[in-house]
Amino acid sequence: KYRGIIFDLDGVICHTDKYHYQAWKQVADQLGIYFDETINNRLRGVSRMESFEIILERYDGAMSEEEKERYTAEKNEIYKELLKNMSPADLAPEVKATMDELRKRGLKLAIGSSSRNACFILGQLGLDGYFDAVSDGNQITHSKPDPEVFLLAAKLIHEKPEDCLVVEDARAGLMAAKAGGMDGAGIGDASDCELAAYHLKSFEELLEACNS
Ligand code: BG6
Ligand code: MG
C-alpha cells in the first residue's frame, strides 16, 4: 500500500525529551521563568524558536530578537553537550529490527524532523547513512504543522505524498502529515490522536499498518 515511510525523529526513533527539558530548564531558570515537564510536552514537534516563544508566555518583560537568538543559541549549546550522552545503545532493538524489515519489504525510509540537530543525533545512534533521505529543520522555512518537512522528505525519496506514511508522536506532526496529503501513524503521546490513520501501541505495530 505504501512505498515510503517518513519517520519523525525525536519521540519516535529516539527519546530526547529529557535533554530538551534540562537545557530549556537552565535557560528558564536564568530568566526566572517557571518551566516544568508539562510545558516541555508542548514543545514536541515545534521548532527551537517557537519552543522558546512558548516558554516566554510566562515571562513578564520584553525581549528583543537579538536576546531571543542568544538564549536559543545557549539552549542549543547545552542541549548538544547533553546529546553526547547518546549512543547506539539508545536505539531500541525493536525500532531497528522493524525498520530493517520494512526496508526488506522494499519500502523507502526517510526522516522528517523539525530538529536542526537531526544528523548529529542519527550519528550518535549509529544511524549515519541508514535512511534513504533526511529532511530536517535546516532545510525548511515552515515547521510542523506545516507539511514542508514531510513534502521535502517525499520528494527526496522520489515518492508521491499519498504513497507515504508518516510516523509521529506529536499532534503538530500528524496535522502536518494530513496537510501534506499523507496518512499518519500516531505513536507514544499521539497514539490516541484522532488525526492518525493508525494508532500504534508499539513500534512493531507499524509492520501491520503497512500490511493493511
Ligand atoms: C523537534 C522536537 O524534533 O525538534 C522539538 O520535538 C524541538 O521539541 C525541535 O524544539 C527543534 O529541535 P532543535 O534540535 O533544532 O533545537
Ligand atoms: Mg517528535
pLDDT, tens digit, 9 for 90 and up, residues 2-37? 999 999 999 999 999 999 999 999 999 999 999 999
Please state the three-class secondary structure of 51-116 as a single string. Answer: HHHHHHHHCCCCCCHHHHHHHHHHHHHHHHHHHCCCCHHHCCHHHHHHHHHHHHCCCEEEEECCCC
pLDDT tens string 76-92 = 999 999 999 999 999 99
The C-alpha atoms of residue 110 and residue 131 are separated, in whole angstroms, by 5
Sign, CA dihedral 170-7-99-195, equals positive
pTM: 0.96
Helix (H) / strand (E) containing 172: helix 171-179
Considering only CA atoms, which residue is closest to atom 13 of ligand 1?
A: 115
Task: Kindly give the number of the ligand 1 atom that is closest to the alpha carbon of 20.
Answer: 8
Q: Is 20 in the pocket of ligand 1 (CB under 6 A)?
A: yes
At 151 the pLDDT is 98
